[in-house]
Structures are given as structure tokens and as C-alpha cells.
Structure 1
Amino acid sequence: MSELPHEVDVLVVGGGSAGCVLAKRLSADPNRRVLLVEAGCDTPPGQVPAEILDSYPMPLFFGDTYIWPGLDAAVTRGADGRIRRRAYEQGRVMGGSSSINVQAANRGLPRDYDAWAAAGARGWGWDDVLPYFRKLETDLDCDGPLHGRDGPLPIRRILEPAWPPFAHAVATALDATGLPRRLDQNGEFEDGIFPPAFSNRDDARVSSAAAYLDAPTRARGNLVIAAHTQVTDLVFDGRRAVGAQLRQADGREQRVAAREVVVCAGALQSPVLLLRAGIGPAEHLRTCGVTVLADRPGVGENLRDHPALTIAQYLPRRLRLPLSYRRASFVALRSSSGLPGGTPSDMYLTASARGGWHALGASLALYFLWVNQPHSIGRLRLNPADPAGRPDVDLGLLSDPRDLERLATGLRDLVALVVSPQLNPDPAAIFPASFTPAIKRLSRVTPRNRRVTALLARLLDGPAPLSRLMLRAVSGGVDLGRIAADDAALRDFVRETVFGVWHASGTCRMGDSTDRGAVVDPTGRVIGVEGLSVADASIMPSLPSANTNVPTIMIGEKIADHLVSQLGAGA
């Protein structure tokens, strides 16, 4: 195990999308001692596991090698009123969720960040954050004043001339929306059909760890990177953070002193560390037996995710990708619902030519549909019976009826678009994709599952009566065409199948220091204490109209810039 220093200038808690940025930027001064701790395994250059490098990410979600084990969340109330729960996959590996996600590199829209500034996050409007979006990236396809050319993170797209038949078929089907085809979702801010941008070079994932913790950065004598190391407690002297208690994988514990502590553990772990340290809603902390250090009612509140549905479609052979073709997502649609309570560009759809790593998955398309600007809000709390255990997470999806209406209408539109001659005109060939425990077991990469899915794929491709029987079995008998034609049945179906799309954010909301609901000020400093900052998706006041990875890296860059300026040379 790594030998940990007993004292540093800056302790960065969490080697995720933002934590890797902080480690690189803060250690650039050789006189500033920085310790980066990550609960999961390390992925140093030349030793990145093949499954992380893979452009096709889905096998990473199964098993707990790279995710927090046992983490789950209440999703919403089903049609019968009972609360639905499901596993929530959050990265526990160097690079965090940037090492397990679909590699989407979507910034969102200028209005998202102008809304942050209007909500009290001064200095976080579009014009303020754009320099940091440019700083983090090397865009391999697009140039001009909106794009960076020499940042650590490569961003590319698969452009139309290189599309396989599936991508052309999807784009042609989506042309029925009347929306134009566009090139750059990060520089063209209107609705349209785009080739999605992703963080990838030479058909290999580039995580935040790969981008920022490169060999020269790791060689710095003033930077220590400790993997398999978990922060069990933040340590305070009065109201000043002075370090943390750490536990390594072999059980050894050590206290590390630090002049500054920066928490980058993500929207489901950062608020937990604050709550256990006594920073949060006073009444809740007392219920959990935690001494109140700073009464900040907003800690754990404002939890947001994009309410999403996943739909599968059986593909004819001519549209399938060979398993050797790893990148499977080629087309995205940004659109406006036009419904009451909606906003421009409030819906998003992506299409993948693969529903799994195996032969059965190769015969299925997968469509992800989500509400791009949700109104629903959840929250996170400690479990009073076990404050040191897993947190109680309630995503609160569809708690606002406007999200239910938009997702239901979006599903009806999706069915109408993809049940088409370009893809598959058979209404029975489209069905809900689920991540049930049985599906997750089948999705583990094992020789047995390879054999089983190969057999299922052959049966699905068999004579028409057998194929229809298999489709009914795979779909669980759900007739999406019938459901889409019945308003009540459609809403019930959405309540039963909605899930979060792994974009948890907002639980340490950024705002003005006089705002009782804010947790950090616009510099990332935790309000009411000293020496402690938060820099990750938890500080987002609201969700951007985007996958959250690149916005989180931007947050890391911007807060790192502030800390470097504040700490000064050699601090």
C-alpha cells in the first residue's frame, strides 16, 4: 500500500472527474504539496484495464469492481403508489464516473449557466464558464472561438461519411421531426440532429484520469496519489477543516493534516462527508446523533437527475454492427416538447446500435430518452439508524407532474419515429429495456453468458413464429404501441420504468453566501466553515441540458483556478 504523508498543503478527496483536475492544477507549483485520495483502484498510464479503455462501456456497470457497492436510490412512486428503488451505479475508480460512463462530452446550453448566475452563483454565467470549457478540451472536429485546441481532454464525433447503415437509418427516421442535421452540439445551440461528441481518441476512452493524471503529472515529487484509500472523516479544529482520517484497503488508518481540503467525491458522496462532519440540516444531524458544526439546510437537498427511459428495438441484420465495432452511439436528437411547463430544447434522445456486449445485444438497438430540463427534485440523507452506512437517496423523479407529461409524450413520439421502414416497421419489435437483477446477471462478461446469449440471439433470428414468441418473452409481453395510444396506460408505464441516467447533481448547491439553502459560495468554499471547498457535480444549482461529465470537469478547472490564485505560490 502507498505510504501516505502526514501533512500536505492540499488534500483532494476523490479522484473523479473534477478531483483529477484539481490534483493536476494545484500540484503545478512544485512548492505546493498535494495528496489525492481515491477509494477505488488506480488506472495509471499503460495500465488502464481494457474494459475501461473500450469505447463500448456497458459491461462496466455490472459487478462492483468499478462502482460503489450496494448504492441504491428511491426512483419514484409507481402506478400503485409504492416507492420504486434500483441500484445506482456511481464510479469508484480513478477518474470516477468518467472511467465508466458512455464518454458523452456534451457541454449543455448557454442558458443553463446563465441560470446558475441568476440563482446566485455569480461568475458562473456562460461567458464566465466558456474559457474553462475551452481550456479543458482539444476538439478534434470543430474549431473557432467556442472551442479549445490544446486542452487535456480530446473530444471527437463520428461524422456522417463514416456512419454505418444503422446511423443513416436512425438519422433518416429522425428527419421526420423536421429538425435540421447539425455538426456541433457544443457550438450550435438550437434543436437538431447531431453526431454526439465524446471523450475518446483512437477509439479508446479518455477519462479524466487519463487526461489529467498523465505520466509527467504523476512524476511530480510534490503530488502523492493514493488509490484504495477512503476518507472516513473530515477533521476540524473549531470551524476550520484541518485534514481527514483515511483508511487504506488493508485496514490501516491514518490522519493527514492539510491546510486546505477540497472534496470532489460526487453528488452522492460529498454531501455524506459534510453531513458526517456536522455540516447540514441541524435537526437531521441531531436525529443521527451528529454534533452540529454548521447548520446548512441545503446539504443533501436539491438532488437532481434527468428522468429517463430506455427502449430497445429488434434490428434487421443489415443494420447490425459487428461486435468488433466498439463505438455504437452515432446520433442524438435535441428537441423541444412544446408542452406547458416546458422550455426550448427540454428533451434529448440518443440512439445506440448495441443493446449489450453479447450476440443478443448486437441484434438490438437501444434508445435513451430523457427530460433535458427537469423540474423534479429529490434529496439525500444519512440513515439515522446507521449514519456511517450507505446514504438514503431519493431521486424524486417525476415528483413534478410536468416531467411525467413530457417524458410520456416523448415516449409516444419516439415510438412513432422508430417504428419505421428505415429501422423496423414491426410494432412488436420495440419494447422497454430494463436493468433488472436478471438482466444484470446476464450482462456479466462470462463464458456461460456468452453461450446463453448466442443461443437466444439465434432463436430471435429464427422463423417468424419463433421470433415473435421470443420477442414477447424478451419484452415481458409489454405492447408499447398499445400503451402509447392510451394516455392513462402511458403515464402508468412511465412511472413504472423511469430511472435516473447517472447525472446526480446539486446536493451541495452553489449560491450566494447569504442564501440559507446554498452550501458553497461561488468560489466553492463551504459556507460557515473555513479551509473546506467542494468541487464536483454536487455544487450545480441546476442540471445543465447535457450529460454532466464535461460540465463537472469544467467545474474542476474553474475552482482550481480560484484556489491557485487564493493559495498563492508555495502554499
Structure 2
Amino acid sequence: MSSNAAIGREAAAAEFDYIVVGAGSAGCAVAGRLAEDPSVTVALLEAGPDDHHYTVWTPIALARTAMNAGPRNYAYYSVPQAGLNGRRSYQPRGRGLGGSSSINGMVYIRGHRHDYDQWQQLGCEGWGYDDVLPYFRRSETNQRSTMGHADPLRGDSGPLHVGDLRSPNVFSRRFVDAARQAGLPLNHDFNGAQQDGAGLYQVTQHNGERWNSARAYLHRGDASGRGLNGGRKGLVVLTGAQALGIEFTGRRATGVRVVRGGVEQSLRARREVIISAGAFNSPQLLMASGIGPAEHLRSIGVQVVHDLPGVGENLQDHLDVTIQKAVNSTDLFGYTLRGAARMVSEIVRYRRHRTGMVSSNIVEAGAFFRSRPDLAEPDVQLAFALALVGNRGSAKARPGHGYSCHACVLRPESRGHVRLGSADMRDAPLIDPRFLSAEADMEGMVAGVRMIRRIYAQDALMQAGGKELKTDAFGPGEGDESAIRDFVRDNADSIFHPVGTCKMGVDEMAVVDPSLRVRGVEGLRVADASIMPTLVGGNTNAPAIMIGEKAADLIRASA
């Protein structure tokens, strides 16, 4: 089904059973699953363009899309962060079909089972690990399950392709070996029984191409991967449709006001409106529609529909710090003439076989470890990058070749918020993660830096030579803690996992209940990473898709 055909149907009908706002990781899953029922109609609204572009399908292109503002990246910035010496944090968010799954690093991590059991302990009944595991499995076709390695933890018939990298880089393997030499165990499956250890990541790819949520849930059944509704006649996908506000009749959501092609119109929802616009734009849309902290809304000039103080609160994100090491090898990505010549041959290889460096997600290997032995689960994640990756969104690319390793604290105690910059959804929201406002987060960052340097000092990596950059002040061994803390404040930034701003729960600051219904109104739900009460221990794309899968069942059960 072409986008033009979808547009034609929209012109004839501006009323649907369900309207889903936001075609990101969760939104595509919600809309795609709801539309499997041929008796209902679903409109999926997306402010950005479609995903039919080489920068989406080609894995290595994330170096361009994630790091730069453009039609597929909002490229937000936070307000100045006191914990980062007044620097603003770069906050990329996907814009277009697939949302952030179209620009992310494709790393497939579900988080630790304890994360979901904690949600249940917080009052989110039905969200424990045993409850959400079937949705993880339903969402995926895991390469390992389809190769004779059936596993009760993996899925084998879902729309999201998950697999091992087709041609892992030699330096990724060296990192894993060095991590083992540093004392970490080998882990072949970070989503298995144990998360601890070092290994290669699985990725959301198929045949060497990115498999975003749009390809999984919208283009299903279309061998080209370019149709919009996968043969589901009740699904209408509208790109370039900027939601301006939720419309209410009394306290019931009845539609969405949108602007598309410069024309404003109202789309009606007979049953429900589902907001899946992400951790920044979902609370923004609620507040712009009059649902949120009443005093703040009035200060912006928004008429209050319902005073809900938790909207925009509870922002959590993975702060990340990176240690770079310059190494003169074209096996690593870099800006040199030799590197450019290597990439020409790699592009030819990719076009022929869908393998090689162009199929890389750059962050191929990583590790999880516990900074203290008394912890019940790993609290620090490492991600090994095949390039000199530093501060994102500000510094220019450094010439030369090398590798980097990221460290992030998995369950930060720092809490921030999202506020309206204006009542217009076309303006950026005010984002304040309040990074390092909790002292415990800095302690975890120090532990991460020390583990990276310990791994770098092992023979498996030392044999390649090279020199660490910007770490001379650390000194030998474990490194001077004061110097490491200064380094973190000068160099750390987000690794792009914001959650929690429409928190699910049963307390007075909860925005949605365990069925994802917005408290205090009717006919309105939120389904995306913003509903997480606490941040999971790992990357957030897979959990967001799981939330979309479960949301569809919750919605159908109440129809």
C-alpha cells in the first residue's frame, strides 16, 4: 500500500476507532497490532517523514542520523546541566516512521528481570517479568531460535527481527577477550538467565539491514518492506501529521487536532486516543492539551482540563561517559584518506553481500558488571564503539582511527522533568534531566571509568597499540578519583534512553494506571517508554516495543 493511497482514504474519512499519536518503537507496535482486527479502523499519526531512505536501512548511517538534526531527528538539547558544569545535553529523538528505532544503535537489550519485578512491587500489577516476557517473545523473531536453538526466553515468529552481527569486527572480539582478561565472565546472551559479563550484542537487523519498528509492524507482508499497512485495510498511516492537541468532550478524549500540509483539521476517535510520542513529546502533548501540573499550564496560557501533577516529572536517563583510544588501524572507523579508501571497498562488499563494516552498528560489543559485590544485579553497562566517539551533538569528529568505550549507570537516582516551552507542539519542550543531582550516580560513573581503563590495559587490546586520549590526569592504576570526577563533569552526556515522564503506578504522582489509562480522564492512554516507573538496566528500544505489544492487548480487552 502506498502512502498516497493511505492519504486518499484519510481524505474520505476523518473518524477512526483508534488514533495513535507517534509512529515510534511503541506506536508502530500498538497500531499494527490493533489493526490486525479487521473490524476496527486505526489512524497512526507521525509528524516526520516515511522511513524509505538509505540512512534508515543502512546500519552504518546511524553515525549521520543520530548525531545531526534533520528530517528524521528532532536533535533536542536539554537546559544547562549544573552536574555537567553548565553544559547542555544532546538529546536526539527519532522523527518519522520508526521513531528512534530508525536512528538508534540497534542494540537489543530487554533489561534485567528484577527491573520488571520492581514495577510490580510498585503497584503495577501485570508488569512483572513473567508477565512481560510473553510480549518480548511475541514481538521478535530471534535468529538463534530459528537456527535450531529454541529457547523459552526467545521468540521465533514475531515481526521484529533480532540477530547476531553478520561480520563482527576484529576489535569487538578483542574487547570481549580483554574484558575476560580483566575478570569479567563471557556472556553469549545478555537477555538470557544472567546479564553479567562481556560479549557481542544482538541487534535489530535482518540480512544486514536495520529492522526498525515500522518495518516490523507497518510494512509486514510486503516483501519490499515499503508498503505502509502490510495489507491491513483498517490501518491508515499519516506522515507529516503534527499533533497539536488532544480534543475532549467533557473529560473524554474524542480526537486529535493536527496540522498536515499547512492545513489544520480534527480527527475523531470513536473509542480511544493512544499517545506514543516518547518520553519528551508524550508529556508535552498532554500538557499542551490541558493535562498536567495546573500551575505550570496556566503560566504558559494553557486551559486546564485536568490537574495531573506527575505529567513531565520522573524523567530518568542513562548518563554516559566515554574513554577514547587512538589506534592506527583501518579496521576501525575514522576520518583519514586510508579510511576513505577502505570504506569504498566496504560499500562494494555491502552492496554485494550485506556484510562488512557498512553492516556494523558501530557498538558491537559490551559488558554488564556490578560495581559492588552486594548488588543483586549489574549496575553499570559498557558499550564498545569502533570509532573515536566523544561528546555528542557538539564536538566535531576527530580525525584518525581508534576505539571508544561508553560506561553508564543503569539505574540512576537522579530525577528530572519535562516542561512546556510554549503551548505550541511545534516548539521544543524544556528538558531537564538534572544529571548527577544524586551523588550515587557519580560513584557509578567512576566505577565505569575504572573498569574501562582496566580492560584497555589487557593484552588483547594492548597488542594493537594506541594511546588513551584526555586521561593523562588520571594517573596510573585505578586513577585519581578527583580527576575522574572532573572528567565526568566535563565530558559525560546522555546515551539517549529517556523514560518515566508519564509514570505508570498507583501513587498520586502516577500519570497512567497499570492499564495505561491516563488518570482523571476517559478514552486516553499513553503507551511508550514514558510510562516506565523506573529505568531498566539496558537499552530501551526492546522494552518500548514490548510496552506497545502489551498496550494493544490491554486496549482490546477493554473494548
Task: Return the TM-score normalized by structure 1.
Answer: 0.84
Question: Unaligned regions of 5+ residues in structure 2, if any?
Answer: 222-228, 334-341, 347-356, 390-395
Structure 1 counterpart of 2:185, one-letter code:
P
1:536 corresponding residue in structure 2: 528
Question: Which residue of 100, 103, 115 maps to 2:103?
Answer: 100
Does the 8 Å CA contact 1:379/1:394 hold for their aligned counterparts?
yes
Matched, 1:338 2:383: no
Structure 1 counterpart of 2:143, one-letter code:
L
Once the two structures are superposed, what CA deviation does each residue of 1:519-541 show, in whole Å capped at 9, x if it has no partner? 00111110100000000000001
Q: 1:180 to 1:409 in 2, by over 3 A?
A: closer
Q: How does 1:159-558 map to 2 (within 5 A)?
A: 163-216=168-221, 217-248=229-260, 250-259=261-270, 260-317=272-329, 320=332, 322-323=342-343, 324=346, 325-326=357-358, 327=360, 328-338=362-372, 344-355=377-388, 363-383=401-421, 389-424=427-462, 429-431=467-469, 479=472, 481-482=474-475, 485-512=479-506, 515-558=507-550
2:141 corresponding residue in structure 1: 138
Displacement of 1:339: 7.8
Once the two structures are superposed, what CA deviation does each residue of 1:499-527 show, in whole Å capped at 9, x if it has no partner? 11110100000012xx2110001111101
Report the Cα distance in structure 1 between the residues aligned to 2:441 and 2:321, rounded to whole angstroms. 12
Report the Cα distance in structure 2 between the residues aligned to 1:276 and 1:385, rounded to whole angstroms. 5
Structure 2 counterpart of 1:294, one-letter code:
H
Aligned length in residues: 509
Q: 1:42 to 1:120 in 2, by over 3 A?
A: same
Q: 1:387 to 1:538 in 2, by over 3 A?
A: same
1:25 corresponding residue in structure 2: 33
Q: 1:538 to 1:333 in 2, by over 3 A?
A: same
Displacement of 1:66: 4.0
Once the two structures are superposed, what CA deviation does each residue of 1:144-192 show, in whole Å capped at 9, x if it has no partner? 1111110111111238xx6443123212211133222121111132411
1:445 corresponding residue in structure 2: none
1:109 corresponding residue in structure 2: 112
Once the two structures are superposed, what CA deviation does each residue of 1:279-317 show, in whole Å capped at 9, x if it has no partner? 111221222222221111110000010111122211242
Does the 8 Å CA contact 2:310/2:511 hold for their aligned counterparts?
yes
Displacement of 1:384: 6.0
Structure 1 counterpart of 2:524, one-letter code:
L
Structure 2 counterpart of 1:29, one-letter code:
D
Once the two structures are superposed, what CA deviation does each residue of 1:75-126 show, in whole Å capped at 9, x if it has no partner? 63257xx532133110001000000000011001110000111112111000
Q: 1:425 to 1:194 in 2, by over 3 A?
A: closer
Once the two structures are superposed, what CA deviation does each residue of 1:190-216 show, in whole Å capped at 9, x if it has no partner? 411121111101111000000111254
1:123 corresponding residue in structure 2: 126
Structure 2 counterpart of 1:252, one-letter code:
V
Q: 1:181 to 1:480 in 2, by over 3 A?
A: farther
Q: 1:225 to 1:12 in 2, by over 3 A?
A: same
Report the Cα distance in structure 2 between the residues aligned to 1:9 and 1:386, rounded to whole angstroms. 26
SS of match in other structure, 2:89: strand
Report the Cα distance in structure 2 between the residues aligned to 1:72 and 1:319, rounded to whole angstroms. 33
SS of match in other structure, 2:202: coil
SS of match in other structure, 2:431: strand
Structure 1 window deviating more from structure 2 (27-36 vs 298-307): it is: 27-36
Report the Cα distance in structure 2 between the residues aligned to 1:516 and 1:427, rounded to whole angstroms. 56
SS of match in other structure, 1:180: coil
Report the Cα distance in structure 1 between the residues aligned to 2:479 and 2:463, rounded to whole angstroms. 17
Does the 8 Å CA contact 1:312/1:367 hold for their aligned counterparts?
yes
Question: Which residue of 34, 46, 50 maps to 1:38?
Answer: 46
RMSD (Å) for aligned C-alpha atoms? 2.4
Report the Cα distance in structure 2 between the residues aligned to 1:77 and 1:137, rounded to whole angstroms. 40
Question: Unaligned regions of 5+ residues in structure 1, if any?
Answer: 432-474
Q: 1:38 to 1:388 in 2, by over 3 A?
A: closer
Q: 1:371 to 1:26 in 2, by over 3 A?
A: same
Report the Cα distance in structure 2 between the residues aligned to 1:76 and 1:207, rounded to whole angstroms. 32
Does the 8 Å CA contact 1:18/1:552 hold for their aligned counterparts?
yes
Structure 2 counterpart of 1:31, one-letter code:
S
SS of match in other structure, 2:428: coil
Report the Cα distance in structure 1 between the residues aligned to 2:137 and 2:289, rounded to whole angstroms. 36
Q: 1:533 to 1:60 in 2, by over 3 A?
A: same
Does the 8 Å CA contact 2:112/2:377 hold for their aligned counterparts?
no
Displacement of 1:480: 5.4
Task: Return the TM-score normalized by structure 2.
Answer: 0.86
Question: Which residue of 55, 75, 80 maps to 1:51?
Answer: 55
Displacement of 1:482: 3.5
Once the two structures are superposed, what CA deviation does each residue of 1:426-477 show, in whole Å capped at 9, x if it has no partner? 997222xxxxxxxxxxxxxxxxxxxxxxxxxxxxxxxxxxxxxxxxxxx5xx
2:336 corresponding residue in structure 1: none
Report the Cα distance in structure 1 between the residues aligned to 2:248 and 2:115, rounded to whole angstroms. 35
Report the Cα distance in structure 2 between the residues aligned to 1:319 and 1:152, rounded to whole angstroms. 33
Does the 8 Å CA contact 2:371/2:379 hold for their aligned counterparts?
yes
Report the Cα distance in structure 1 between the residues aligned to 2:425 and 2:189, rounded to whole angstroms. 45
Structure 2 counterpart of 1:240, one-letter code:
R
Report the Cα distance in structure 2 between the residues aligned to 1:387 and 1:215, rounded to whole angstroms. 31
SS of match in other structure, 1:84: coil
Report the Cα distance in structure 1 between the residues aligned to 2:548 and 2:50, rounded to whole angstroms. 19
